[in-house]
């Protein structure tokens, strides 16, 4: 599990949805979770560097590194959402640009439903690393698998770190498409009935699969 967290964190940067030591990855284990440490380059990270935390933030080893400053966000999402097993938080360019406008991603494209609903919300603002940000993320993720964080970045949830990463990549692609569309004009939105039909088809298409970050017409 520690290796899976590190692998997802490294791929997050190589895929271009994050840079440097920003962003973080976690996975649920037993009565807590494993999360990337603070301020350690991902390429230098080793399994023993990944931090084991209880949901209240208590570290499970006195000799471990400091956890990511966003551990509260991860803990709050796990507490509110028993279905979430892994989380990726990143700062991709287009999703972050929309988040800085406090603008979510509406149903301009059917793949928006991959995040679990008819839109991808943008959360209220909260200072990084605070409980306020954690609570804002939980609210924006209600009935969703991903959200934007106001003036900050994005959060994507999944069954495994790779699953959450695949969704984060898809959300960034949608953010880029939406931003490009807005340069031309206002997109025609899909209505609620169509988005419900897409969600039903997604449930069938992704049944038993662990990587929903692919187009359902592939």
Residue pointed to by tokens 């695949």: 166
Helix (H) or strand (E) holding 54: strand 51-54
Instruction: Take residue 205 and report the two structure tokens written for it.
Output: 């298409």
Instruction: Take residue 136 and report the two structure tokens written for it.
Output: 């804002």
Residues near 112 by Cβ (< 8 Å), separated by ≥ 6? 105, 106, 118, 119, 120, 174, 195
Distance CA 60, CA 25 (A): 18
Other C-beta atoms lying within 10 Å of the C-beta of residue 63: 6
Other C-beta atoms lying within 10 Å of the C-beta of residue 27: 24
CA of residue 180 relative to chain centroid, distance: 22
Active site members: 70
Instruction: Take residue 128 and report the two structure tokens written for it.
Output: 């990084």
């Amino acid at each position: 599990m520690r290796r899976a967290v590190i692998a997802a964190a490294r791929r997050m940067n190589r895929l271009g949805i994050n840079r440097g030591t920003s962003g973080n990855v976690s996975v649920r284990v037993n009565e807590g979770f494993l999360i990337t440490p603070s301020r350690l380059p991902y390429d230098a990270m080793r399994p023993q560097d990944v931090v084991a935390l209880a949901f209240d933030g208590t570290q499970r080893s006195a000799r471990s590194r400091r956890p990511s400053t966003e551990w509260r966000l991860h803990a709050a999402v796990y507490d509110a959402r028993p279905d979430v097993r892994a989380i990726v938080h990143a700062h991709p360019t287009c999703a972050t640009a929309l988040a800085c406008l406090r603008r979510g991603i509406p149903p301009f494209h059917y793949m928006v439903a991959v995040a679990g609903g008819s839109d991808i919300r943008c959360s209220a603002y909260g200072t990084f690393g605070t409980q306020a940000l954690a609570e804002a993320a939980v609210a924006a993720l209600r009935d969703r698998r991903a959200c934007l964080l106001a003036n900050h970045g994005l959060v994507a949830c999944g069954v495994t770190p790779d699953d959450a990463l695949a969704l984060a990549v898809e959300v960034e692609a949608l953010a880029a498409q939406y931003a490009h569309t807005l340069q031309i004009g206002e997109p025609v939105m899909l209505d609620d009935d169509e988005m419900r039909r897409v969600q039903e088809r997604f449930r069938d298409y992704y049944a038993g699969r662990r990587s929903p970050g692919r187009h359902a017409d592939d």
